[in-house]
């Protein structure tokens, strides 16, 4: 994902949920009464990422709010989109959070498209016609690739965009994990597109980048725009002014027959539309990953601040 990025295979849920789309374990099931005839739970799947766990809890909380519908979350499906999408089409799940860039390039096998409206229109039509699925709302944030610099450096040189780095790059050290230097859309392609010639490049473990940035060992690094550590690291994410990277906007993909069975569900899911900024999602990820807070508690507290839960 792009979203197949950052696969935080959290020990309790990773492999146990991956093989052959196991529909047991690593979940938060609704009360047993939900299994009664006519009251089956809405089955929510997630990829093995903290972000997806939080989003699924938000969806479940909203679905269950008035007590009419129940929800069941299957967390950390191994393989992400590769396994969840076909399972959704088969009816093994009812809905899951997905990213537009992943759906467009991985599921539909399309080349990147910069025009987000055109992409969304085509994506919606293709999912409806080919798979019997609907995109219901986009959450607001864009979890895509990005470049970040130390906040002090951004303030000193008024850095706001990738292009702003070009005159300064010859004085800066760039840090990234190994695969960023190997990917077709990674370091070489990015620096060519923006005319960036960094003084030095450093290959480092993905988990050490933020520490290296704080200690001044690197000046620029690649990030994902909702990384939890961005919310507490004194780092400025720059704007991709040439739109080198496609958007990965998260939204809910749901089966059409599920919407037909539950007429109120579309309106419930649309409460997530435009709800979260990149910064919001980064803060929520940070609360779980760095502060050790429970995903459901974090989700509930956020929905309360938006007036969506009592």
In whole angstroms, how large is the CA radius of gyration of the chain? 20
In CATH terms, the fold of domain 14-143+247-305 is D-Maltodextrin-Binding Protein; domain 2 (3.40.190)
Question: What is the predicted pLDDT for the residue at 30?
Answer: 41
Reference 88, options 130, 60, 142; nearest CA is: 130
Separation CA 199–CA 15 (nearest Å): 41
> What DSSP line would sit under 155-186, residue for residue?
HHHT--BSGGGTTTGGG-EEEE-HHHHHSTTS
Separation CA 49–CA 246 (nearest Å): 20
Question: What is the predicted pLDDT for the residue at 232?
Answer: 75
Phi and psi at residue 223, in whole multiples of 5°?
Answer: -140, 175
Question: What is the predicted pLDDT for the residue at 25?
Answer: 37
Phi and psi at residue 29, in whole multiples of 5°?
Answer: -85, 150
Separation CA 218–CA 4 (nearest Å): 26
Separation CA 202–CA 303 (nearest Å): 40
Q: Which residues does residue 98 pair with via DSSP β-bridges, in sequence order?
A: 251
Q: What is the CATH number of domain 145-237?
A: 3.40.190.120
How much is the pTM? 0.83
Contact 43, 91 (CB under 8 A): no
DSSP H helices, 65-106, are: 81-90, 100-102
Helix (H) or strand (E) holding 149: strand 145-150
Question: What is the predicted pLDDT for the residue at 179?
Answer: 82
Contact 47, 3 (CB under 8 A): yes
Taking the CA atoms of residue 181, residue 187, residue 192 and residue 194 in that order, the dihedral angle to the nearest 10 degrees is -170
pLDDT in tens, the chain (310 residues): 444 444 433 333 333 344 333 333 345 544 433 333 357 999 999 999 999 999 999 999 999 999 999 999 999 998 899 999 999 999 999 999 999 999 999 999 998 888 999 999 999 999 999 999 999 999 999 999 999 999 999 999 999 999 999 999 999 999 998 888 988 888 999 999 999 999 999 998 877 888 899 899 999 999 999 999 888 778 999 999 999 998 999 999 999 999 999 999 999 999 999 999 999 999 999 999 999 999 999 999 999 999 999 9
Separation CA 245–CA 241 (nearest Å): 10
Apex 191 CA angle, 189 and 196, nearest 5: 165
- Structure token digits, residue 131: 């798979």
Which letter does DSSP use for residue 53 in this model? H
Q: 261 vs 63, 196, 254, CA distance in Å?
A: 14, 53, 12
Helix (H) or strand (E) holding 135: strand 133-142
Question: What is the predicted pLDDT for the residue at 7?
Answer: 40
One fold for 14-143+247-305 and 145-237: yes
Separation CA 307–CA 310 (nearest Å): 7
- The domains of the chain are located at 14-143+247-305, 145-237
Question: What is the predicted pLDDT for the residue at 207?
Answer: 75
Q: Would residue 40 be called left, alpha or beta, if left means φ above 0 and alpha means ψ between -120 and 50 degrees?
A: beta
Name 172's Cβ contacts closer than 8 Å, sequence gap at least 6. Answer: 165, 198, 199, 200, 219, 220
């Amino acid at each position: 994902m792009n979203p197949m990025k950052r696969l935080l295979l959290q020990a309790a849920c990773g492999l146990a949920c991956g093989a052959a789309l196991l529909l047991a374990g690593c979940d938060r099931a609704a009360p047993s009464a939900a299994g009664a005839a006519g009251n089956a739970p809405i089955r929510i799947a997630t990829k093995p990422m903290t972000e997806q766990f939080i989003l699924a809890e938000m969806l479940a909380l909203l679905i269950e709010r008035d007590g009419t519908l129940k929800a069941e979350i299957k967390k950390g499906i191994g393989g992400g989109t590769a396994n969840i999408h076909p399972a959704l089409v088969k009816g093994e799940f009812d809905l899951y959070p997905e990213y537009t860039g992943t759906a467009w390039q991985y599921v539909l096998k399309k080349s990147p498209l910069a025009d987000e409206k055109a992409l969304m229109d085509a994506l919606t039509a293709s999912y409806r016609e080919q798979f019997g699925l609907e995109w219901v709302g986009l959450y607001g944030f864009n979890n895509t690739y990005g470049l970040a610099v130390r906040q002090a450096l951004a303030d000193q040189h008024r850095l706001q965009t990738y292009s702003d780095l070009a005159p300064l790059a010859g004085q800066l050290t760039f840090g990234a994990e190994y695969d960023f230097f190997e990917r077709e859309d990674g370091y070489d392609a990015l620096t060519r597109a923006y005319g960036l010639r960094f003084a030095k490049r450093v290959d480092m473990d993905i988990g050490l980048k933020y520490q290296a940035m704080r200690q001044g060992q690197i000046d620029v690094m690649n990030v994902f725009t909702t990384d939890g550590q961005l919310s507490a690291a004194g780092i400025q994410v720059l704007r991709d002014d040439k739109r080198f990277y496609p958007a990965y906007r998260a939204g809910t993909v749901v089966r059409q027959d599920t919407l037909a069975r539950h007429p109120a569900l579309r309106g419930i899911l649309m409460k997530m539309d435009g709800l979260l900024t990149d910064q919001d999602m980064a803060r929520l990820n940070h609360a779980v990953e760095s502060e050790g807070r429970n995903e459901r508690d974090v989700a509930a507290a956020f929905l309360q601040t938006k007036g969506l839960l009592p």
